Amino acid sequence: MSNYKQQEYDFVNRTKEILKQYKQFIEKVPEKDRFECTLLLNCCVGLLVVPKEEWSNYLPDDLVSEKEWGLKPEHISQIQGGKKQIKEIVTHLRNSVSHYEFTVIGNSNGDISRVDFKDFNRQGTTTFEATIPVSNLRVFLDKFSEFMLHKMKQQQ
């Protein structure tokens, strides 16, 4: 196991590699034992939390769009301030994942099809709600982590 050269960059990049490796491995696993959504949510630490915590000055101001970021504005039903900017969404998703304020929702086949995320302020008032299909979440995490890896590489 090789050491990190630049810890944040390597951690994010290696997390992306774990997801790629899982795609190769999953075909050999019976369908009932496939846990790709659980892995994806666990990988939020590397793809979302680390970039947000360590490189927050580089979070994009872009408004959410499916074409650019993989998320539709309608996936976000509530956000404090009303602006559906990526930097705000990332902050709320980070809080939701870190404080275990998410719920997975299954479809009629029993597969996880979407994830409900929530965030709250210190007074307990809801500041963020989103229901994101797993496929969109996967695309968003990939696009966001690529964006952040690019920013990190520029700063080396």
Domain ranges of the chain: 7-155
Percent of the chain with pLDDT over 70: 97
**Among 126, 123, 122, 106, which residue's Cα sits nearest to residue 114?**
106
CA dist 25 and 45 (Å) reads 21
- Paired with 51 in beta bridges are none
CA distance 108 to 148: 36
Measured CA to CA, the distance from residue 106 to residue 125 in angstroms comes to 27
The string of pLDDT tens digits covering residues 34-64 is 888 888 898 888 889 988 888 888 899 999 9
| pTM score of the predicted model | 0.88
Q: Got the DSSP string for 7-27?
A: HHHHHHHHHHHHHHHHHHHHT
